[in-house]
A and B are shown apart, each in its own frame.
Chain A
């Protein structure tokens, strides 16, 4: 049984122009000790979905359908207090900008102590000791615990945020773009730390990112979202090497690769649909070079292959052939009737 299982989650935002279906068919699993990447572009609902798992959603958001089963219990529909009880102890969160996780007016070490004492019920001395241990664990000098967040570099702040997330030995860490704002070297170092700790502690990680290379580097499994829906999921190798959904194919081609010299990158023409009025059928159809009439009429279901590789595309069976076509940049220009 998996640690976390999200089934057909739907989250709407009430906006001025009507309700916005931020997440429509959110389905994903995180097994014990597994690192799962949740990939997609801005506005695809990945952050909304990830945040929803912590029970912390914006005031104008409502859960419309689905279930969030954590350790065998469906959290949806349970009182918020019960959910909140799980935070830090069972599920913890590393936000995108670690400036948000750390309060600028308190010393970093003191903030960590507070989490340990308030949520973990530790005594002062015990918390102190654990804080030092956590600092060392993420590669920070414990003596720097007396400094304020602004005295930390971006990478150090991110390490501190990771340390805080691991403080009470949660079963699941949700990390929202944890390395996006960092330089390549720091990014690599933070990812190495994350990978290391994950292997050592056996904690499950749900890593939200737009960056395929981050997924490739640290994740066991990948879930790809587009326009509020999960369009593909499977092991990182399956999804990145033999993608079955044209959107994933497009994403992998749009990414510059230091090892492949030359070549032309292929952008995916157009932009994501307005989620207040999502199109009928497949939401990617209008940008898809392989779309058929059926794609624009009927929504493809998320079909799981025997090897666990799931995709929501009517043409999944032709995936190997389409994937070859997708590697040719001219495939993607054919549909680019409207630039950008």
Chain B
């Protein structure tokens, strides 16, 4: 199976502010936002990218959109290598790859009417003006917005749910093949969230989109993506079918994440989080596993050496030194006695 998105060794380091001593010694400390990412996404597949804030999931999305340049590594989307894309090739790339923003209230220019915002990608791509109205009408139908009079409105005259549909419409108007959605419902009210999620799910199916859905919420990821990749402090720690990841998490961090997911149910007697006290800090990642300071089952090797992301029989991947042990039947993480 040929992958549509092909990422190898992708890394991005940002310089951090130097202390006086570091300036004097001529050091240039960096923080690794994303470190050695390897993954493929098949055509038409939706992958959830799960992790806490600061884990590098948003940077990963921005790298794939060529909004930031990687420090090292390669990424290929379709037939295009991202490195060195410019001019007309970059414009073509922008037609195929789109982004859905987290904050719909900020994603549209407040001084521009909705209709013009929707037409912008068409103008940039050189679509003849005569086709604009038809394509906008089609895309509004796709995101289930009725009423062309909306096109005359300004963003502040619309609700969050409507805005997010417009943002989605703008992303879809050029009929892209790959979409990066960065927490697209986290700013929305619960009652309209479901509408956007359903819409995303339907669109993936009907348009055959390849997509990455970035979120910190496993329940949301599960709703839209059949496969989930879990990130921790810049590295992939686990990758597998969403249902398997939830029912049989392999990495200790994934186990903690699942145990922490809030449930809308009363009287839960929940187990304490399988975590040692500690905070994630990308600047303090040493030679070993990034999770070692919070990991409840860490062994000596974890501090000494970074565990590689290994592929297990069946295709799941995990980066943990304890993996041989973890593949043995372990007591599964209990979500609640209600199940």
Contact = CB atoms under 8 A, between A and B. Distances in A.
Contacts of A236: 266
A147 interface: no
Interface string A245-281: 0000011111111110100111111010000000000
Contact of B264 (A240, A267, A269, A339): A240
A155 B278 CA distance: 12
Query: Lowest 3 A-B CB distances belong to which pairs?
Result: A213-B262, A267-B195, A265-B194
A188 B262 contact: yes
Interface string A195-234: 0000000000000001111101100000000000000000
B219 A183 contact: no
B260 A271 contact: no
Interface in A179-204: 183-189, 192
Interface in B11-49: none
B216 A184 contact: yes
A259 B159 contact: no
Nearest to B275: A185
Contacts of A339: 144-146, 165, 195
| Band of interface residues on B | 35 or more
B190 interface: yes
Contacts of A42: 160, 189
A188 B246 CA distance: 18
B165 A185 contact: no
Interface stretch (B86-94, B313-321, B331-339): B331-339
B70 interface: no
Contacts of A188: 259-260, 262, 273
B145 A340 contact: yes
A60 interface: no
Contacts of B336: 259
A258 B263 contact: yes
Contacts of A211: 190, 262
A71 interface: no
30 contacts: A41-B189, A41-B190, A42-B189, A139-B277, A156-B279, A183-B52, A184-B217, A185-B273, A189-B273, A210-B189, A212-B264, A213-B262, A214-B262, A216-B264, A216-B265, A217-B270, A251-B190, A254-B190, A255-B190, A257-B263, A257-B264, A258-B219, A258-B246, A265-B194, A266-B194, A271-B159, A338-B146, A338-B147, A340-B161, A340-B165
B53 A258 contact: no
Interface residues of A, number: 47
Given A210-B189, A212-B190, A267-B193, A184 B257 contact: yes
A250 B191 contact: yes
B52 A185 contact: yes
A249 to B, nearest CB: 11
B205 interface: no
B71 to A, nearest CB: 25
A187 B189 contact: no
Given A184-B260, A188-B260, A259-B336, A240 B266 contact: yes
A136 interface: no
B194 A267 contact: yes
Contact of A254 (B53, B194, B246, B277): B194
B268 A217 contact: yes
A126 interface: no
Given A188-B262, A236-B266, A268-B191, 8 more contacts: A42-B189, A184-B261, A187-B260, A257-B263, A258-B219, A265-B223, A271-B161, A339-B146
Contact of A183 (B53, B265, B277): B53
A153 B279 contact: yes
Interface in B190-212: 190-198
B77 interface: no
B199 to A, nearest CB: 9
A210 B190 contact: yes
A241 interface: yes
Contact of B335 (A250, A258, A271): A258
Interface in B150-177: 159-162, 165
Interface in B232-251: 243, 246
Interface string B47-89: 0000011000000000000000000000000000000000000
Given A183-B52, A213-B264, A264 B198 contact: yes
Given A259-B338, A271-B161, A251 B194 contact: no
B230 interface: no
